[in-house]
Amino acid sequence: MVLGFGAMVPEAILFPGCDATCTMEQYDRLYRLYAEFDTGRLRDHQAFVDLFPALDSRVALEHWEAVSEALAEQKSAIVESFVSDAPRSLATRPDIAATDNETAAVYAEIAARASRDQAFTALDLLTTYDRAVNVLVLDVDETLRSAGSTDNEIPRETLHLLTEFHEMGVPIVVCTGQTLENVKGFLIQGLGSELVHSGDCSIVYESGNGVFTPGHGADSKRLLYETLDETVVAIFEGVRSRLFRDAPADLRRGSHLQGNEFNVTVKPNAATGSDRARELIDDALVHQIDVLGTVAAEQIAANEASDAATNSSKNASKNDAAVDSTDSIESIDPTEASEWARAAYAAADPEIRAVLDSRDAIPDRDLANAPSSLTAVLERIDVAYYEADAAELTSRELTKPDGVAAAYDVLGIDDPFALVMGDSKTDLRIMEWVGAENAGIAAAPDHASEDVLAHVHSTDELVFDRGDAADMLRIAYALDRLAALEADE
């Protein structure tokens, strides 16, 4: 529950284990901090020092040094004022006690990195949960970066804040549907090889199929998809090998398979978000569902034939009369299987239904009459649609929460309280999981899927502008610094 940016905190709302004086002192110190000091200028100087280091220019170096000195002076003024308990005409409680140098320095650092709204939101979260964020769980595409506002690059501000969390000892779990090599490459480029290989950074890739945590020996890479049974693995292999072989020519020319270890992901050759990409991915979604239905039916028949042959062999070994077990095999016509698959995924996902409807591709099928063997298989496989970006097959038996749990295990996080940031239904599963376990808070960009935004609005209303993940990271930074102060008092 977020009380509202800068809202008066009722004395009845207390931190667990903290009395009214403690609660109100936190509030009053923040109020005083943003009322009496030019924190906007302070943040500007901090951002300049952090993000624009002087290179080879003497003039640039002199300017950077001048801003650094001004930044230090501003922070010193805050510390001196807080320690000396100087008069404060705008404070809500002028009787508040003076602080020590260490505490005052923390408030100065909060003001240098978080706005008034962000700091008071952090205080509200501390009031609600009495926890600091001790792990970041972050989606990449349309969360840390956005094709629409950051040119698909993670902003420097966001990257710098992630390095600050790393220096504070907060592990980072990057959780994405992308391939390991893609994610590892741009993380090393943006955060540096030392951080990525520090042992405190984990990559959950392909939406939970694998986990890569460098620096942990034999546990550094866990291939979770190896735990799936042969039927599911065979279906994924069949779809992957047949998808483009049987695809319409325009789809073959205009898209490609992402180089996954397990998932089957179609990506457009056209720019993500463009009209051409949308057309291609919509076509790919329909074709992918059709191929999945056909391959699933064939695999079911192969399984039943294998079982029948095994049973016949057992009967023959017992000198029983020969029985033709193939008579009991359920035969599913491939065309009908594709139609059943379309009907199943249209019923399960409104976005998929809308795409199929736009292609006049929703069959007149009553799912109550679907072959039970086919329904059982399709219920184990998820079809994901990302508008103008990707159409993907994933296993419902392996999700992002499974990958995050494995990452926690490798990182040694026994009592997590995560900041989870994401935009899609795969991220929603993590948000719901941490919510059910009281193990974190959820945040999403304002263009996230409807279900994600509904969840976020129903919890702490942590919604940020597209491409501005730094907003939430600054709130989490202030939360952690305030929580550390609370623990010391």
Instruction: Report pLDDT digits (tens) over 239-253.
Output: 999 999 989 999 999
Residues 6+ apart with CB under 8 A from 401: 208, 429, 430, 433
pLDDT score, position 314: 65
Identify whether residues 319 and 278 lie together within a single domain: yes
Q: Which of 87, 107, 129 lies at the terminal end of a domain, its last residue? A: 129
- Which amino acid, 287? H
Q: How confident is the model at residue 6 (pLDDT cuts 50, 70, 90)?
A: very low
- Which amino acid, 273? G
Q: Alpha-carbon distance 57 to 62, whole Å?
A: 9
Q: What angle do CA 135, 138, 142 make, to 5 degrees?
A: 160
Higher-confidence residue: 150 or 139?
A: 139
Count, in order, helices (H) and strands (E) of the chain: 18, 12
Tell me what the mean pLDDT of segment 154-174 comes to: 96
Instruction: Decide if pLDDT at 478 tops 50.
Output: yes
Identify whether residues 120 and 141 lie together within a single domain: no
Query: Is residue 202 helix, strand or coil?
Result: strand
Q: How confident is the model at residue 10 (pLDDT cuts 50, 70, 90)?
A: very low
Q: How confident is the model at residue 22 (pLDDT cuts 50, 70, 90)?
A: low
Identify whether residues 391 and 254 lie together within a single domain: yes
Order of strands across the sheet that contains 221-223: 221-223, 210-212, 201-205, 172-175, 135-138, 418-421, 440-445, 462-464
Instruction: Decide if pLDDT at 44 tops 70.
Output: yes
Would you say residue 120 lies in a domain?
Answer: yes
Q: Which of 129, 153, 172 lies at the terminal end of a domain, its last residue? A: 129
Q: Alpha-carbon distance 446 to 453, whole Å?
A: 7
Identify whether residues 382 and 291 lie together within a single domain: yes
- Structure tokens that stand for 316 in this block: 């023959």
Among 324-338, 382-396, 451-465, the range scoring the smallest mean pLDDT is: 324-338
Would you say residue 10 lies in a domain?
Answer: no
Count Cβ atoms within 10 A of the Cβ of residue 321 and give its class: 0-12 exposed, 13-18 middle, 19 or more buried.
exposed
Identify whether residues 372 and 240 lie together within a single domain: yes
Identify whether residues 263 and 165 lie together within a single domain: no
Q: How confident is the model at residue 59 (pLDDT cuts 50, 70, 90)?
A: confident
Domain extent, residue 167, equals: 135-226+398-488
Instruction: Report pLDDT digits (tens) over 333-358.
Output: 989 999 999 999 999 999 999 999 99
Q: Which of 78, 101, 129 lies at the terminal end of a domain, its last residue? A: 129
- Give the domain CATH number at 467: 3.40.50.1000
Identify whether residues 215 and 312 lie together within a single domain: no
Identify whether residues 210 and 297 lie together within a single domain: no
Identify whether residues 213 and 287 lie together within a single domain: no
Q: Alpha-carbon distance 343 to 214, whole Å?
A: 43
Tell me what the mean pLDDT of segment 450-463 comes to: 97
Would you put residue 204 in left (φ > 0), alpha (ψ -120 to 50) or beta?
Answer: beta
Instruction: Decide if pLDDT at 3 tops 80.
Output: no
Q: How confident is the model at residue 60 (pLDDT cuts 50, 70, 90)?
A: confident
Identify whether residues 266 and 199 lie together within a single domain: no
Contact 312, 323 (CB under 8 A): yes
Q: How confident is the model at residue 489 (pLDDT cuts 50, 70, 90)?
A: low
Q: How many CA atoms lie within 13 A of 139 on its CB side?
A: 27
State the CB neighbour count (10 A cutoff) for residue 130: 15
Identify whether residues 383 and 364 lie together within a single domain: yes
Tell me what the mean pLDDT of segment 391-414 comes to: 95
Number of domains the chain is built from: 3
φ/ψ (deg, to 5) at 237? -65, -40
Higher-confidence residue: 95 or 376?
A: 376
Would you say residue 414 lies in a domain?
Answer: yes
**pTM here?**
0.83
Q: Are strands 135-138 and 172-175 parallel, antiparallel or unpaired?
A: parallel
Would you say residue 183 lies in a domain?
Answer: yes
pLDDT score, position 13: 39
Identify whether residues 201 and 54 lie together within a single domain: no
State the CB neighbour count (10 A cutoff) for residue 149: 15
Residues 6+ apart with CB under 8 A from 376: none
Q: How far, rounded to the nearest angstrom, does the alpha carbon of residue 300 sit from its chain's CA centroid?
A: 34
Contact 432, 400 (CB under 8 A): no
Residues 6+ apart with CB under 8 A from 288: 239, 243, 264, 266, 383, 391, 393
User: What is the helix (H) or strand (E) element at residue 269, kind and residue range?
Assistant: none
Q: Alpha-carbon distance 196 to 214, whole Å?
A: 7
Instruction: Report pLDDT digits (tens) over 87-142.
Output: 444 445 555 556 789 999 999 999 999 999 999 999 999 999 999 999 999 999 99
- Structure tokens that stand for 343 in this block: 């009907």
